[in-house]
Amino acid sequence: MSAHTEELLVMLLHSPRSKKVQMLRTQASEMSQTPFQDTCVTKMPGYIGNHVHQLNARVYGAIQPAVGEALPALWPKQDNVPAQHELATIVYSLNQAVWHRLAAALDAYGLVERVSYDLQSCDAAVAEINTTPLSSSSPSSALSWIDTLRSVFAKFLAPCDHQGFLQAHLDNMRADLGAELESRTGELVMTLYNDLYEADDDF
């Protein structure tokens, strides 16, 4: 996760300006049927960085509860040393349980939706600043103000199609988490097996 986060933030901070602006505009356009203010689009790296760090904390925080919930069910009598094949089954099942919990944490946070909400809030604030109050406006400016409000509400109601580099970041993170857990199953089984039998031999 840390590697993916670093890669994403480096891309957002150090890409050439023209490339970064185009990338952000493309991502923003996939969050709404109408364009966002440029002022808000330029704030996206800050929104994304904040939410990615919160997402990582949420996922890391899900590990211990997942293990604490699944392990007693998979290995109810932890004083008994299982055979190696039984231990392998326990560890594999535990990894699967942890993986499902982490994937659920990734989905539940709603990274794309949260960044979209930040953009919408910024857009609404900018629109409010740029419009003239109805009490001192002409009929034409009043109609313009109403059109602005309609545009803002349309952004809030528009569905997010979950595309773009943010969703790619989530997909890559999900895939690598699963692959990392699976790749370490054998190593973890052997470590636990050796530790358990060494401890058992001491008695």
Mean pLDDT of the chain: 83
Looking at residue 157, its pLDDT comes to 44
Domain span at 191: 3-127+166-196
pLDDT band at 184 (very low <50, low <70, confident <90, very high): confident
Looking at residue 189, its pLDDT comes to 86
Separation CA 49–CA 166 (nearest Å): 11
- With H, G, I as helix, E, B as strand and everything else as coil, classify residue 60: helix
CB 122 within 8 A of CB 35: no
Q: Is residue 137 part of a domain?
A: no
Percent of the residues in the chain that have a pLDDT greater than 70, as a whole number? 81
Q: Is residue 160 part of a domain?
A: no
Q: Is residue 185 part of a domain?
A: yes
**pLDDT > 70? residue 52:** yes
Q: Is residue 161 part of a domain?
A: no
Q: Is residue 149 part of a domain?
A: no
Residue reference for tokens 């313009």: 144
Q: In terms of C-beta density within 10 A (0-12 exposed, 13-18 middle, 19 or more buried), how is residue 102 classed?
A: buried
Q: Is residue 150 part of a domain?
A: no
CB atoms within 10 A of CB 119: 23
Average pLDDT over residues 185-193: 86
- With H, G, I as helix, E, B as strand and everything else as coil, classify residue 33: coil
The tens digit of pLDDT for each residue in 126-169 reads: 988 877 554 444 555 545 545 554 554 444 444 444 458 999 99
Q: What is the DSSP letter of 77?
A: -
Q: Is residue 147 part of a domain?
A: no
Total of domains in the chain: 1
Average pLDDT over residues 48-71: 95
Looking at residue 140, its pLDDT comes to 53
What 3 state SS string does 173-194 have? HHHHHHHHHHHCHHHHHHHHHH
Separation CA 40–CA 111 (nearest Å): 17
The tens digit of pLDDT for each residue in 76-93 reads: 877 777 787 888 899 999
Q: What is the DSSP string of 112-177?
A: HHHHHHHHHHHHHHHHHHHSPPGGG--HHHHHHHHHHHHHHHHHHHSPP---SHHHHHHHHHHHHH
Looking at residue 161, its pLDDT comes to 43
- With H, G, I as helix, E, B as strand and everything else as coil, classify residue 7: helix
Q: Is residue 99 part of a domain?
A: yes
The tens digit of pLDDT for each residue in 4-19 reads: 888 999 999 888 999 9
